[in-house]
Amino acid sequence: MSEAVNKAAKPAGKGNHPTRSQVAIIGGSFSASILARILSLKGYSVVLIDAGQHPRFAIGESSTPIADLLLRRLGEEYGLPDLVAMSSYGAWQTSHQRLACGLKRGFSYFDHRGTAQGDAMVESKKGQRSLLVAASPTDQRSDTHWFRSDVDAFLFDQAKRSGVRCLPGSSVVAIDTSPAGRHMLMLQNKASVQADFVIDASGRSAVTAQLLGGQSLLPRLQTNSVSAFSHFTSVASFGDHFNDLHQDQRASHPFHADAAAQHHLLDRGWVWMLRFNNGVTSVGVTAPCDDQPASQVALGEILAAELQGRFSRYPALRPCMRHAKLAEVPGQVLVTGRLQRLNDPVVSDSIVMMPTTAVTIDPLHSTGIAHALSGVQRMAHLLDAGVSTQSLETYRQAVLDEAALIDQMVSLAYHCMSDFPRFCMASMLYFAAAIQCEEQLLAGQWPNAYWMAQDQPFLDAMQICYQLLRSTEEPARILSQMQSVLAPWNQAGLLDPAALNRYAYTATK
């Protein structure tokens, strides 16, 4: 342990004395609970401070191969078989039947632009208005959607069972740092926690930034989007409807399009649909906006109305949502302001934010769970190796570089969203980066930065593609140049016109 994490930390005090620990983690999401549990098993005294109570509604539900590889390796490295079992759909169904989740074989995309005016959403050839990208070859080895109220509650309880001092319903209202470097966290119930090292896993609340006046780096981001979302029951199959429209099975190969992070591109923004095995479907609509708060509020109201109206203007989506009802939880459509945030993840030499507390970009590429789990891995290794100026700077730069790359990929996809062939090409940049990162994990490496965010040759190639896709070049020329530029990172056969927007390759399973 480093000097920042004092070996001599005392156990919890009594009466009005503060609870004393080596590490205090603010937040009660899955990443906070997994990290607290790992640190406790490694001999640290840990306090987990959660402002809320479990179970509770949360989004950020779609896992990916990177996330599953991380979860499996964390489970194997620290002897946590329940995490290993949650890293694939088949094992999850065998070991955790009481935890709801969804089957996710990959990503599916459908272009509804123009259909609000009554145009039929029918392809003249396969792939004209649809894209399916596989992430796993079978249901058994598939990725998952996480029903977060179940998953977060289970992992919070597992942390408690592992010896973590858990304080649910306890908001941190002030943080006082003494000259000796110890931090006193004051809670709303007048209790307090003293810790040598503080990890902020509070997500959007970004508690340490709020209380300690951290500098927002938000102006660095290009992406600017707003979302409205909820959980629904009785959402009918879109894949089956798309097959019926074409009298074939084009939405069922290489996997059924519903067993995916399903994306529907609208005239303004896009819709996600994530199906769980308990009859609930997560449905949300996200759209780009400008920097004006009033515009963001107005757009949020428009998106909420679109969702409350069950996308009645879109004839291909309407049958899927015709009988949909709001699930009991949350029981309403929720609306965000601007989704994006970016904070310096290193608040001080002994206060650090998890990646998903420092960064939120957008749900388009489902990066959230993987980014959260990367923080678990990195924080556990950081404390073990000894916290130093250099290790903190390495962590800071990796998180900020990842944020910059994800932001560039998402903002480019939004820029191209009105032109489906360009959008598909833009999306391939994410898949190329993700597959390369998956290969590193499979080779036993812990990447310094995920999604190739510090690989300069890949970043150079990314920049060329970025400029091409924002240019007025003809799509065929853009495709040809992207194929050449991305060739060193494209063992999966992405950008192949002969594939007709159906990619069955999987790097990780």
Q: In this structure, what are the phi and psi dihedrals at residue 360, rounded to the nearest 5 degrees?
A: -135, 130
pLDDT for the residue numbered 370? 98
Least Cα distance to 72 among 90, 88, 89, 94 occurs for 88
pLDDT of residue 8: 35
Burial of 496 (0-12, 13-18, 19+ CB in 10 A): middle
Q: For every residue of 158-218, which 3-state class applies, written as one string? A: HHHHCCCEEEECCCEEEEEECCCCCEEEEECCCCEEEEEEEEECCHHHCHHHHHHCCCECH
The pTM for the full model equals 0.95
Q: Where in the chain is the domain with CATH 3.50.50.60?
A: 1-98+148-219+344-387
CATH topology (fold) of 1-98+148-219+344-387? FAD/NAD(P)-binding domain (3.50.50)
Q: What is the pLDDT of residues 416-471, one digit of tens each?
A: 999 999 999 999 999 999 999 999 999 999 999 999 999 999 999 999 999 999 99
**Sign of the CA dihedral running 457, 461, 462, 463:** positive
Residue 506 — pLDDT band, cuts 50, 70, 90? low
| Per-residue pLDDT tens over the stretch 141-191 | 999 999 999 999 999 999 999 999 999 999 999 999 876 668 999 999 999
pLDDT band at 16 (very low <50, low <70, confident <90, very high): low
Q: What does the pLDDT read at residue 258?
A: 98
Helix (H) or strand (E) holding 384, with range, is helix 368-385
Measured between alpha carbons, how far is 187 from 192 in angstroms, rounded to an integer? 6
Report the pLDDT averaged over residues 93-105. 97
Could you tell me where in the chain the CATH 3.30.9 domains are found? 106-141+224-335
Share of the chain above pLDDT 90, in %: 91
The reply to whether CATH 3.40.1350 applies to domain 106-141+224-335 is no
- pLDDT recorded at residue 213: 87
pLDDT digits (tens, 9 = 90+) for 340-398: 999 999 999 999 999 999 999 999 999 999 999 999 999 999 999 999 999 999 999 99
Dist CA 74 CA 65 (whole Å): 14
Looking at the DSSP bridge assignments, the partners of residue 116 are none
Q: Report the C-alpha gap between 239 and 256 in whole angstroms.
A: 7
